[in-house]
């Protein structure tokens, strides 16, 4: 898929997702579990950082969850 | 109604802090306290067969101003020693290579993996990130980093913008990161796809290779590489126990993408007694410096879900599909399950990764094609590759809210590919690599 094509379809995809997502979710008083540290999307940022660094230096892929790692001469 | 004043306050905090942290390095803690919180750890990484050993201490300090406003500073060190594959193929004869500095040499015994044992490095890096709300519906983040090695300097800045919808159940995010790297290879930048000189380092100004606009090839030159990363993300609260994230990322690296220390063997493919052996000119094996395209655009699609079970355990599953214009595609599945007890947790982890090779990846060149290739690399990291990680993390939370944790993991890489011809067939061209990792950390 060409990057430009993806960029063009992105607003459409986002709109569909937003509409689709409007039925999902919780009320503010139902956030007790989601508010726990362990439930945040990146709950162990230090571990994620160390792992990203290892994988960046051993594999051809990086990033995805966040920016693509890098910043070193290890790959 | 059983909603007390205290729990109302809790709600405010919880509501604010449960919004989603999108980008690495930014965490949201539940407690709203204007204190610094620290997370310090050391990773020890050891590869089998006396290859690379790395020790990486890191400390992260986070100051929370309010539930959504945070400053994070992270400093890391990194010491690597050991030997790394230089890209050549093993051979039935002793092989001698010019060292990276151009003035020494190292040898590989017959039938052994060619490793560059001059491999040593120390890296220091520091990063600062800031996240804060703009108003009720918008927040932003900004940051920068510096990472320095004796032959590599990387500088970067990043920014992100998030918009909340549906009572903060949906977060749309956009992030942009710019990086500028300077590469100063020891002994200068070798010109890609030229013959590595047999002994001393004064390299050729000669022939072959068409239209390489790698800089000039003489000592003390440095090269540059610029990166632009863009991420679009949607984080969605599904229900009280489930949160999900989708990201699309595109990343461009332009400039010197080559590894200046990697070489390729040239294998003799003319029929005769040396068929499948190292191709020689004037009695010396021919090795070429690798060369990669000066531009690379990677794209990734990422999905992650966290789900809390009725027994409070947490399941964390992610999948990434990545593809780039070098022909690499990859799939990554990462699964973690956190068994949570009152004061402690255990978290087993399995990560599976599979990649297909880059178009220009070749385990070796041959005497008939080595002068006609535009790009070539035998770096196993660009080959067909499967890896698996098995890990276990354990954490213990003390009364004073501090936590000790440790993680042990085993990482196994398996390369596959063309098995060669003639004499080369009896050589192990794709040895497996196994690494063990131990992290010890403390949050306070």
pLDDT tens track for B13-45:
433 343 333 333 344 444 455 689 999 999 999
What Cα–Cα distance (Å) separates residue B334 from each residue in B61, B353, B355, B385? 27, 9, 15, 17
Please tell me the predicted confidence (pLDDT) of residue A20: 66
CA distances from B228 to A9, A60, B21, B355 (A): 20, 17, 21, 23
Q: Is the pLDDT of residue B126 over 60?
A: yes
Interface mutation target, options A2, A43, A60, A74, chain B, most CBs of B under 10 Å: A60
Distance, in Å, from the CA atom of B84 to the CA atom of B18, rounded to the nearest integer, reads 44
Give residues with Cβ within 8 angstroms of A3, minimum separation 6: B250, B297, B299
Q: Do B393 and A47 touch (CB under 8 A)?
A: yes
Rounded-to-integer distance, Cα B126 and Cα B58, Å: 10
Contacts of B166 (CB under 8 A, 6+ apart): A18, A21, A22, A24, A25
Judging by DSSP bridges, how do beta strands B115-116 and B105-108 pair with one another? unpaired
pLDDT over 70 (residue B208): no
Select the residue of A44, A61, A73 nearest B149 (Cβ to Cβ): A73
pLDDT in tens, A16-65: 666 666 678 999 999 999 999 999 999 999 999 999 999 999 999 999 99
Tokens, residue B176: 């942009």
Q: Give the chain A residue whose CA is nearest to the CA of B184.
A: A73
Whole-structure pTM over 0.90, yes or no?
no
Phi, then psi, of B23 in degrees rounded to 5: -105, 145
CB-closest option in B18, B165, B181 to A31: B18
**CB–CB of A67 and B121 under 8 A?**
no
Q: Does B19 touch chain A (CB under 8 A)?
A: no
- Closest CA relative to residue B256, chosen from B207, B285, B216, B308: B216
Nearest to B146 by CA among B182, B104, B116: B182
pLDDT at B170 > cutoff 60? yes
Query: Which residues have C-beta within 8 Å of that of residue B59, sequence separation ≥ 6?
Result: B38, B39, B40, B41, B74, B75, B76
Compute how many other C-beta atoms are within 10 angstroms of the C-beta atom of residue B216. 9
């Amino acid at each position: 898929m060409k990057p430009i094509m993806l960029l063009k379809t992105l607003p459409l995809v986002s709109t569909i997702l937003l509409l689709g997502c409007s039925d999902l979710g919780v009320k503010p008083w139902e956030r007790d579990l989601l508010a726990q540290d362990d439930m945040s999307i990146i709950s162990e940022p230090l571990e994620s950082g160390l792992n990203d660094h290892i994988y960046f230096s051993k594999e051809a892929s990086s990033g995805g969850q966040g920016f693509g790692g890098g910043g070193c001469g290890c790959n | 109604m059983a909603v007390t004043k205290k729990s109302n306050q809790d709600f405010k905090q919880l509501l604010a802090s449960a919004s989603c942290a999108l980008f690495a390095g930014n965490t949201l803690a539940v407690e709203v306290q204007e204190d610094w919180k620290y997370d310090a750890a050391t990773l020890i990484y050891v590869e089998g067969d006396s290859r690379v050993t790395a020790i990486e201490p890191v400390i992260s300090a986070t100051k929370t101003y309010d539930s959504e406003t945070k400053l994070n500073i992270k400093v890391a060190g990194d010491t690597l020693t050991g030997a790394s594959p230089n890209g050549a193929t093993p051979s039935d004869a002793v092989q001698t290579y010019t060292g990276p500095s151009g003035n020494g040499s190292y040898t590989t015994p017959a039938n052994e993996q060619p490793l560059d044992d001059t491999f040593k490095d120390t890296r220091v890096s520091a990063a600062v990130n800031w996240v804060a709300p703009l108003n009720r519906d918008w927040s932003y983040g900004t940051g920068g980093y510096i990472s320095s090695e004796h032959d590599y300097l990387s500088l970067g800045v990043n920014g992100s913008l998030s918009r909340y919808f549906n009572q903060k159940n949906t977060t749309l995010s956009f992030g942009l990161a710019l990086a500028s790297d300077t590469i100063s290879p020891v002994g200068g930048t070798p010109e890609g796809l030229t013959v590595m000189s047999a002994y001393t380092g004064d390299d050729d100004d000669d022939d072959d290779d068409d239209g390489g606009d790698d800089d000039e090839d003489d000592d003390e030159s440095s090269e540059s590489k610029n990166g632009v990363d863009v991420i679009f993300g949607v984080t969605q609260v599904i229900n009280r126990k489930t949160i999900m994230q989708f990201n699309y990322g595109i990343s461009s690296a332009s400039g010197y993408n080559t590894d200046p220390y990697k070489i390729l063997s040239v294998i003799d493919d003319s029929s005769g007694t040396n068929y499948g052996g190292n191709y020689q000119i004037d009695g010396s094996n021919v090795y070429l410096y690798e060369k990669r395209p000066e531009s690379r655009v990677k794209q990734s699609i990422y999905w992650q879900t966290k789900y809390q079970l009725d027994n409070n355990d947490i399941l964390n599953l992610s999948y990434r599909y990545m593809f780039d214009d070098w022909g690499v595609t990859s799939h990554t599945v990462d699964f973690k399950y956190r068994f949570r007890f009152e004061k402690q947790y255990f978290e087993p982890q399995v990560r599976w990764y599979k990649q297909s090779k880059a178009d220009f990846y070749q385990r070796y060149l041959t005497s008939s094609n080595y002068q006609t290739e535009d790009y070539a690399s035998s770096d196993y990291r660009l080959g067909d590759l499967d890896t698996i990680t098995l890990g276990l993390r354990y954490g213990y939370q003390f009364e004073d809210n501090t936590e000790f944790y440790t993680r042990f993991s085993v990482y196994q890489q398996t390369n596959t590919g063309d098995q060669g011809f003639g004499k080369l067939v009896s050589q192990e061209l794709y040895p497996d690599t196994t690494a063990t990792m131990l992290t010890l950390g403390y949050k306070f």
